[in-house]
Amino acid sequence: MEAFDDFGVGLSSSPADVGYCKYHVQLEKMMGEFLKKESCIIFNMGYGTNATTIPSLMGKGSLIISDSLNHTSIVNGVRAAGSTCKVFKHDDPIHLEQVLRKAIVEAQPRKNRPWRKILVICEGVYSMEGEISHLKEIVQVCKKYKAYVYLDEAHSIGAMGATGRGITEHAGVDTSEVDVMMGTFTKSFGGMGGYIAGSKDLIEHIRKNSSGSIYGNSMSPVICKQIIRALDLIANSEIGAKKIKALKDNSNYFRKGLTNLGLQVLGDYDSPVMPILLYNPTKIAAFSRECLKRGLAVVSVGFPATPIISSRARFCISAGHTKKSLDFALGVIDEVAGLMNLRYAENWSG
Ligand SMILES: Cc1ncc(COP(=O)(O)O)c(C=O)c1O
**String of b and e for 188-201 (b: at least 16 CB within 10 Å)?**
bbebbbbbbbbeee
pLDDT digits (tens, 9 = 90+) for 121-175: 999 999 889 999 999 999 999 999 999 999 999 999 999 999 999 999 999 999 9
For residue 184, the ligand 1 atom closest to its alpha carbon is 10
Q: Look at strands 311-316 and 39-43 and give their pairing.
A: unpaired
How many Cα atoms occupy the beta-carbon half-sphere of 91 within 13 Å?
A: 15
Report how far apart, in Å, the C-alpha atoms of 163 and of each of 84, 160, 176, 235 are: 37, 8, 17, 7
pLDDT digits (tens, 9 = 90+) for 24-80: 999 999 999 999 999 999 999 999 999 999 999 999 999 999 999 999 999 999 999
Question: Please, which pLDDT band fits residue 112 given cuts at 50, 70 and 90?
Answer: confident
CA of 46 to the centre of ligand 1 (A): 5
Q: Name the residue at shortest CA distance from atom 9 of ligand 1.
A: 46
CA of 72 to the centre of ligand 1 (A): 8
Could you tell me if 43 and 24 are in contact, meaning their C-beta atoms sit under 8 angstroms apart? no
Which candidate, 183, 249, 150, 200, places its Cα nearest to that of 39?
200
Q: Please tell me if the CB atom of residue 186 comes closer than 6 angstroms to any atom of ligand 1.
A: yes
pLDDT digits (tens, 9 = 90+) for 291-307: 999 999 999 999 988 89
**Average pLDDT, integer, range 72-96:** 97
Q: Please tell me if the CB atom of residue 26 comes closer than 6 angstroms to any atom of ligand 1.
A: no
pTM of structure? 0.94
Q: Name the residue at shortest CA distance from atom 7 of ligand 1.
A: 46
For residue 192, the ligand 1 atom closest to its alpha carbon is 10
How many Cα atoms occupy the beta-carbon half-sphere of 172 within 13 Å?
A: 1
DSSP for 274-334, written as a single string: EEEEEESTHHHHHHHHHHHHTT---EEE-TTTS-TT-EEEEEE--TT--HHHHHHHHHHHH
Which candidate, 125, 123, 69, 93, places its Cα nearest to that of 270?
125
For residue 194, the ligand 1 atom closest to its alpha carbon is 10
| 43, 47, 53, 132: residue to mutate for ligand 1 pocket, most atoms within 8 A of CB | 47
Q: Please tell me if the CB atom of residue 46 comes closer than 6 angstroms to any atom of ligand 1.
A: yes
